[in-house]
Chains A and B, each alone.
Chain A
Amino acid sequence: MSVPPFSSFLEEHRVLVYRFLAATVGPDNADDCFQETFLSALRAYPRLDAGANLRAWILTIAGRKAIDHERRRKRRAVPVGEVPDRVTLAPPDGEPEVWRAVRELPPMQRAAVVHRYVLDMPYREVAEALGCSEEAARANALEARRRLRTRLATVKEER
């Protein structure tokens, strides 16, 4: 038994990876990260173990690409001359507040909430993907939900 044809592998994980990236880096950057993810996978594919867990593997790559993307974005960020006196939560054009609120979560909380709620994974798999215990995964998701609720309530009030 060898690895499946790359086209079948892509077809099987296409939507999952896209959803993961859209939630992690935002819909505007998802396309680029998606291509980077599968290009990396394609480069490494012939050397892959036949027994490898392909879903975990591609999500790990996608996670790394999302982090790379964040780093590049931060380096490009231009410091503002004047610090605004209050943080505005108004979303940029056409971008739902939820996307933005998710992306502003600390990394572990964001990862927990994306894996659990966007990818619909059970906590056992969330823990595996995050490399932590199941309790830690639950705790992170719980804290993330608490923060999101507060955040989104604030957005609504400000309108």
Chain B
Amino acid sequence: MKDLRRLGRADADAASIRAAAMLATRAEHEGLVDVATARVPSPFGELIVATTPRGLVRLAYPNEGRDEVLEELASALSPRVLEAPRRLDEVRRELEEYFEGRRRRFEFPVDYALTRGFTQRVLRATARIPFGSVSTYMQVAGRAGNPRAYRAAGNALASNPIPIVVPCHRVLHSGGGLGGYTGGLERKRFLLSLEGTL
């Protein structure tokens, strides 16, 4: 029965990868993908981006762990998570242009579905800080409706599910200090110098 065992293994891996890619296209076409994911190259390594029909819902740095990110999306949004890079073509293109210094704002829509309440208001306020300028924790807290809640604003930004696109790196301490960054302070510095702020 050696023949049979060989029969099963031969090329099944490569062939099934091709079949799975075609499956993603068909699933997309039939509207069966609630959360589409893709990998995007960046100066920090490979990012994972995820979109719902409403817009970009998640951007994860390489250190976040692919499995954890997918689990999070499945339990918070829908288990119908599938790698379907074509739906994220626009996101990938705009991010690449941004990293090359050829883009100052993102045109694709954003979905804040992974956030609630004050956190979401802080992130929406942060999204309005333009390229090349900065704000403070107190200012975004104020725009979110509570200027005294600057610590809570810091926490909200630390849990930002869509860094870079919702530019939490543009929020600094009132005293002029860089403040924190979940992705690591080097990344914050890198992004601010890319934008000519630092």
- Residue B107 CB within 8 A of the other chain: no
- In angstroms, how far is the closest chain B Cβ from the Cβ of A7? 5
Contact at B12–A117, with CB atoms within 8 Å? no
The answer to whether residues A2 and B15 also contact, given A19-B8, A35-B23, A120-B5 and a CB cut-off of 8 A, is no
- Residue B164 CB within 8 A of the other chain: no
Give chain B residues whose Cβ lies under 8 Å from the Cβ of A22. Answer: 7-8, 12, 15
Interface size band for A = 35 or more
Give chain A residues whose Cβ lies under 8 Å from the Cβ of B8. Answer: 19, 22-23, 117-120
Give 1 or 0 for each of B19-54: 1 = CB within 8 Å of chain A CB: 110110011001011000100000000000000000
Give 1 or 0 for each of A38-81: 1 = CB within 8 Å of chain B CB: 11001101101000000000000000000000000000000000
Given A6-B80, A17-B16; 9 other pairs, CB 8 A cutoff: A2-B74, A5-B74, A15-B13, A19-B8, A34-B20, A38-B27, A39-B27, A46-B80, A102-B7
User: Which 9 A-B residue pairs are closest in the complex by CB-CB distance?
Assistant: A18-B16, A118-B8, A5-B74, A117-B4, A5-B81, A19-B8, A5-B70, A34-B19, A14-B16
User: Which B97-143 residues have C-beta < 8 A from chain A?
Assistant: none
The answer to whether residues A34 and B16 also contact, given A4-B71, A6-B82, A39-B27 and a CB cut-off of 8 A, is yes
Q: Closest A-chain residue to B74, C-beta based?
A: A5
User: Which A83-124 residues have C-beta < 8 A from chain B?
Assistant: 96, 98-99, 102, 113, 117-120
Contact at B79–A18, with CB atoms within 8 Å? no
Query: How far apart are the CA atoms of A48 and B26 in the complex, in Å?
Result: 21
